[in-house]
Amino acid sequence: MTRAKLVLIDGNSIVYRAFFALPALSNARGQFTNAVFGFTQMLLKILHDERPTHIAVAFDAGKQTFRHEHYEAYKGTRQETPSELREQFPLVRELLDAFGIRWMEVPGYEADDIIGTVSRFADAADIPTLIVSGDKDILQLVSDNVNAMLTRKGITDVDRYDPAAVYERFQLTPQQIIDLKGLMGDSSDNIPGVPGVGEKTAIKLLSMYPSVEEVLEHIDEAPGAKLQERLRDNRELALLSKRLATIHRDVPVTCTLDDLKYAGYDPHVVRRMFQQLEFKSLVDKITREIDKNGAAATTDGADRGAEGGSAADAAPANPGHPLQSLPVLVIRSKAELENLWGELGDPIGIVPDMDVDDYQTANVLGVAVGSHRKAFYIDLTDLEIGDLTELWTGDAEKIVFDLKALAVLLDAHGQTLHLEDGWFDIMLASYLLNPSDGETRLGDIVERELHAELPVPAPGKPERPQALARLAAALPELHHATVSALSAQELDDLYEKVELPLAFVLARMEALGFYVNAECLKDIGAELQAQLTALRDDIYRLAGTEFNINSPKQLGEILFDKLGLPASKKTKTGYSTSADVLERLAPYHEIVEKILEFRQLGKLQSTYVEGLLKVIRKETGRVHTRFHQALTATGRLSSSEPNLQNIPIRMEEGRKLRKAFEATYDDWVIVSADYSQIELRILAHLSGDEALIDAFRQGMDVHTRTAADVFEVDPGEVTSLMRRQAKAVNFGIVYGISDYGLSQNLNIPRAQAAAFIQNYFEKFPGVRSYMTEIVETARKQGYVTTLLNRRRYLPDLHSKNFNLRSFAERTAMNTPIQGTAADIIKLAMVRIDQALRASELKGRMLLQVHDELIFECPEAEVDELVELVRDNMENALTLNVPLQVDIHHGKTWYEAK
């Protein structure tokens, strides 16, 4: 039996977001429909992804609420709703009626209050609930049973929050969100808060005392006389603000949870609504759904199938793009294969058919090929991969999606792909053109660019070969427009000289893997287990009893009920024992530090020791991480399965994990090459600041030079404290740090931090000019670029929301720096790979971790490899300051650092 699940949507918030996210749309009758269209897209996605058994949409009933009785100016600064938006709310309600979805509004209350009340009912009934909104106030409702999905940009970019995610974002519990608003206020709702107290100050206060009331009871302990004065003068304002921010959870709603049950919608009714609104694309989709499924109700009006794993029917849609009904010829014999080579045009699209989604371990069932509106499927039941050599080496340009994956897949079956054989990767090209999209599917690109829907069923489905062949035929159609777009945006050099050859480099690294000594890893695990056992016994001794340390409920009872430590308010699920709570409690009892250490070591044991042991491939004794080349907006590589870029090294127990990563052979060593302060060197180049450039050209320690300039002392007089403060400023400047942020990092007064930053900019005026000019340039053209012309679009630079706009400004400052660093190491990897393959050296590249490259080589070749690596890394790109690389080697990764 399917477990119940409730979805609650803040109608006002999502409709408002949709209106401002989409361009103005109207139908033939002159009705504006962009907000309705955006809301519909969000609704269809929720129905598809969440499969709710209960659903409701809440609206504000009017401008006046009970909060105005407490504070007349509540929401008084909001601009009047545009008439183009106001007229769409009735259409949204009609749309919900067509979907058979209950919508609610209660006079005197806001949508948040209705959602808060209904979610309380669901929580009491143990029904998991998802709240969808664009308003962070809703986070106060998050609990173990209630999650929130917040729109972050427009209506498609969302963040999902459970209690842990709320804490990660704010360092607060969900219940403390109202205390946060009580102290800092909310300009969007005209909630005053305490004047002069921003988010960071409010969070710091709440880390000391968990509520507004307790903060006000301990004003004398607040950091700084000015803050104490503000809290005293605005005590009542803080309490009022908290009351205004608190969602009311006892709204007199007239419906029950049973009234919100949802079994799906009638597609015929919904289609009529779409036709009335003139949503042509949605009409086409639901028409195809009716053709496939008949008149049956559905909970997913947008189910298009998914590559590699859905029950979607791959029969061609009616009617639609010619690709959707393209005939497919299946090739099963060598004779038919020989005839195929003469049938193919130029370029050709290639899509492999795998038995599982993991290309590193998959078997190849067949290969789909397409060109010039011709589609073929080569069935490998009676053929072998080796029979397809002509496909990989022929003269025609070969268009694929995710070239790296294809190269790794074929390498496991004895086939090697070569860059010079004419490959084009639609995934990489699309990534450069749309960097904020991250990893996407070929089907999504085909639908967006060609307006054709080509769903692919799961492996083993009889319709799969035909579906893949049509997808292969779509690749050449995408090719021409994609090449033109790369050229128009001056991205063709970045694609051809960096990203495309890098795909082959990464494929070789993935296929090779990194040898891990499983016995060494087990020994490290045994050491950790011994430490955990000793810690556990100490904790039991200090507690006076045995209990489950990993149980928040049992731990809370020990700490607060038995040992009497000061606790936050107890909820029905027990006391909070999150990391921030324990850190505040550390001075009160010896047991707390041991619990914190127990958790840290436990994570190392479970996530890294046990996690790595699970992914060591038995046949190779190696881990084969998967590099993600088309994921991050900055251009940086990331890795997964396992994530070798994220092994914790700040604590020695974490660094020890690197001892298990060894060279393949006894007489080989690991070599680590790490760019030194590359981002600051790029900042010097981009800003043209003479002092910063001079420091790097002179080979000085840049943090010492910065400290000497800022504190106006000789370099020899710079103390360790001065250098530490200068280092914080140097790296903070790269990320657009504020005086408050610096004060928190250095634990100094904000005024001192502001003076420090001001003095820095006076000594390095070129840096200040760069920061100002890059934001203005980005605001004018809509994007920033790296030195290799990688783009990142920043639409939020024009946002009316201060936080979104400020984040976009910091991103504009940082992306050219961080993105150029990513480009440089990618370019270095390509050059090193070419140099190694052109040499007689046996050394090989194993791993990339941020600004570091890891190699292995025979011990006798170390000097030659170091020279080759240093030359190619330090000369990857010419800057007006030298690039510097630190290189070390040892028997293990641990020894090489």
Q: Using DSSP, state whether 348 is helix, strand or coil.
A: strand
Co-location of 83 and 201 in the same domain = yes
Domain with 288 in it = 263-293
| pLDDT at res. 680 | 93
- Domain's final residue, options 468, 489, 510: 489
Does residue 187 form part of some domain? yes
Does residue 885 form part of some domain? no
Given a contact cutoff of 8 angstroms between Cβ atoms, the answer to whether 208 and 231 are in contact is no
CA nearest 351: which of 457, 467, 461? 467
And the tokens for 145?
């049973």
Which residues are within 8 A (CB) of 98 and not within 5 positions of it... i.e. 6 or more apart?
265, 269, 270, 272, 273
Co-location of 197 and 220 in the same domain = yes
- Domain's final residue, options 470, 489, 508: 489
Co-location of 367 and 344 in the same domain = yes
Co-location of 473 and 526 in the same domain = no
Does residue 277 form part of some domain? yes
Does residue 826 form part of some domain? no
Give me the residue label for tokens 């069935």. Answer: 379
Co-location of 688 and 606 in the same domain = no
Given a contact cutoff of 8 angstroms between Cβ atoms, the answer to whether 508 and 829 are in contact is no
CA nearest 147: which of 121, 166, 124, 126? 166
Query: At 146, which CATH number?
Result: 3.40.50.1010
What end-to-end distance do the CA atoms of the chain give, in Å?
A: 54
Residue type, 212: V
| pLDDT at res. 123 | 87
Q: What is the number of structural domains in the chain?
A: 5
| pLDDT at res. 72 | 53
| pLDDT at res. 709 | 83
Q: What is the pLDDT of residues 297-329, one digit of tens each?
A: 555 433 322 223 222 223 333 345 788 889 999
- Domain's final residue, options 234, 259, 284: 259
Strands (E), 406-508: 423-425
Co-location of 527 and 453 in the same domain = no
Co-location of 352 and 372 in the same domain = yes
Instruction: Tell me phi and psi for residue 845, to 5 degrees.
Output: -85, 135
Does residue 806 form part of some domain? no
Co-location of 100 and 128 in the same domain = yes
Query: At 720, which CATH number?
Result: 1.10.150.20
Per the DSSP assignment, residues forming a β-bridge with 698 are: none
Give me the residue label for tokens 């994007």. Answer: 783
Does residue 238 form part of some domain? yes
Co-location of 152 and 203 in the same domain = yes
Q: What is the pLDDT of residues 160-219, one digit of tens each?
A: 999 998 988 889 989 899 888 888 887 666 677 888 888 888 888 888 888 888 888 888
Residue type, 793: Y
Overall pTM > 0.85 = no
CA nearest 729: which of 702, 751, 749? 702
Co-location of 100 and 203 in the same domain = yes
Query: At 569, which CATH number?
Result: 1.20.1060.10
Co-location of 349 and 474 in the same domain = yes
Co-location of 271 and 328 in the same domain = no
Low-confidence ranges of the chain (pLDDT < 70): 1-2, 27-30, 62-81, 153-156, 187-190, 292-320, 568-573, 580, 744, 801, 803
Query: At 387, which CATH number?
Result: 3.30.420.10
Q: How far apart are CA 447 and CA 705, in angstroms?
A: 54
| pLDDT at res. 439 | 77
Does residue 240 form part of some domain? yes
Residue 438: count of CB within 10 angstroms of its CB: 12
Does residue 620 form part of some domain? no
